[in-house]
């Protein structure tokens, strides 16, 4: 009987019941698996979580009011009571570092939400519908890209002079000038994907425009845009600090890392190096974390690189 079975099957054996086929992970699961194995990603995420927790829950990090200053304690060196010492106005520098992270974090959240929403709406419409819709959106993008950034920053400061101690002017200028590249990138991906066979097949089966866009095109077009978000966040952090340093961003009595760097440069020559090195070090750590995370995310989400 066994010989007959072997003759019929050609010597092939049937797989056992407990054998399971290999699971093919989705793009996101593969990307997550790749990211969590990289030490640079883990360190970057820990740094960013620390900074965002400092901004969201400052009372967990310090009980000192950064605006409660004592002129008699000005330029006091670091001690157990004041970890980073006191600044030239007698304010606790550690508390200022904690509360100074709030404008930076708020800007990253607001600007990213606005620019991502605009780029998804305008880029998908331009790429999918084409024709005059694409022409109008493309011309609008070119107009915004032709406006010098610092000219727009000066204009926003002039228009919102009464709100110079808030993040409103800098949020508006960064939102107005930060959506064009993502829009063009998403437009190109939608133009590419809408000509694929699976999209034509779905359209021939009667799929609506909304279903084609949200079920078939955007899931493949958005990952390249999401991969560059950390790099944009690094740019937002750097630009906010640069504008505050130049007097075009937040203005005192607001507290931000850019303002602290501006004040620290005046004391660096006199020997108070920590007043400049501490906020600069925090800023560089956040920027480098976003850059490293963005590079890793791009490599993980790009099928060609994988």
Whether 91 contacts 85, CB under 8 Å? no
Question: What pLDDT is stored for residue 7 in this prediction?
Answer: 44
What does the pLDDT read at residue 29? 78
pLDDT score, position 111? 92
The reported pLDDT for the residue numbered 204 is 85
User: Helix count (H) and strand count (E) of the chain?
Assistant: 14, 0
For 153-214, the DSSP string reads HHHHHHHTGGGTTSSHHHHHHHHHHSSHHHHHHHHHHHHHHTTSHHHHHHHHTT--HHHIII
Structure tokens at 254: 């607001």
Report phi then psi at 92, rounded to 5.
-65, 120
**pLDDT at res. 68:** 84
The CATH code for residues 28-301 is: 1.10.3720.10
pTM beyond cutoff 0.85 = no
pLDDT tens figures, 229-249: 998 899 888 888 888 887 777
pLDDT (tens place) for every residue of the chain, 306 residues total: 444 444 444 444 444 434 333 333 466 777 778 888 889 999 999 999 999 999 999 999 998 888 888 777 777 777 778 788 888 788 888 999 999 999 989 999 999 999 999 999 999 999 988 889 999 999 999 988 888 887 877 787 777 766 667 788 888 888 888 889 999 999 999 998 888 888 888 888 888 888 888 888 888 888 888 888 998 899 888 888 888 887 777 877 788 888 888 888 877 666 667 778 888 999 999 999 999 998 888 888 765 555
Q: What is the pLDDT of residue 44?
A: 93
List of residues 6+ apart from 260 with CB closer than 8 A: 87, 96, 97, 100, 275, 278, 279
**Using omega within 30 degrees of 0 as the cis cutoff, is the peptide bond preceding 253 cis?**
yes
**Residue written as tokens 């995420």?**
45
User: Taking the domains of the chain in order of start, what are their residue ranges?
Assistant: 28-301
Half-sphere exposure of 6 (CA within 13 A, CB side): 4
The CA-based angle 159-162-164, given to 5 degrees, is 85
Tokens of 264: 């620290």
Q: Of all helices (H) and strands (E), which one includes residue 88?
A: none
- For the four alpha carbons of 250, 253, 255 and 260, in that order, the dihedral sign comes to positive
**Is residue 25 classed exposed, middle or buried when 0-12, 13-18 and 19+ CB atoms within 10 A define those classes?**
exposed
- Based on its alpha-carbon atoms, the radius of gyration of the chain, rounded to whole angstroms, reads 27
């Amino acid at each position: 009987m066994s010989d007959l079975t072997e003759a019929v099957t050609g010597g092939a054996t049937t797989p056992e019941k407990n054998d399971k086929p290999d699971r093919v992970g989705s793009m996101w699961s593969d990307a997550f698996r790749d990211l969590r194995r990289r030490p640079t990603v883990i360190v970057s995420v820990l740094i960013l979580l620390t900074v965002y927790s400092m901004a969201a829950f400052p009372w967990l990090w310090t009980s000192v009011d950064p605006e409660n200053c004592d002129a008699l304690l000005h330029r006091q060196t670091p001690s157990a009571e004041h970890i980073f010492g006191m600044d030239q106005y007698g304010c606790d520098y550690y508390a200022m570092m904690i509360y100074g992270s709030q404008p930076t974090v708020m800007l990253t959240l607001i600007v990213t939400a606005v620019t991502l929403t605009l780029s998804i709406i305008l880029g998908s419409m331009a790429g999918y519908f084409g024709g005059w819709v694409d022409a109008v959106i493309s011309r609008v993008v070119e107009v915004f890209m032709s406006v010098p950034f610092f000219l727009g920053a000066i204009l926003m400061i002039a228009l919102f002079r009464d709100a110079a101690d808030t993040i409103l002017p800098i949020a508006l200028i960064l939102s107005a000038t930060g959506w064009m590249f993502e829009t063009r990138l998403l437009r190109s991906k939608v133009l590419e994907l809408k000509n694929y066979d699976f999209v034509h097949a779905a359209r021939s089966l009667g799929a609506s425009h909304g279903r084609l866009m949200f079920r078939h095109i955007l899931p493949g077009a958005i990952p390249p845009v999401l991969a560059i978000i950390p790099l944009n966040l690094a740019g937002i952090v750097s630009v906010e600090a640069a504008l505050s340093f130049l007097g075009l961003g937040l203005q005192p009595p607001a507290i931000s890392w850019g303002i602290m760097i501006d004040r620290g440069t005046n004391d660096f020559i006199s020997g108070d190096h920590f007043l400049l090195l501490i906020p600069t070090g925090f800023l560089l750590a956040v920027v480098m974390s976003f850059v490293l995370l963005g590079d890793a995310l791009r490599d993980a989400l790009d099928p060609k690189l994988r």
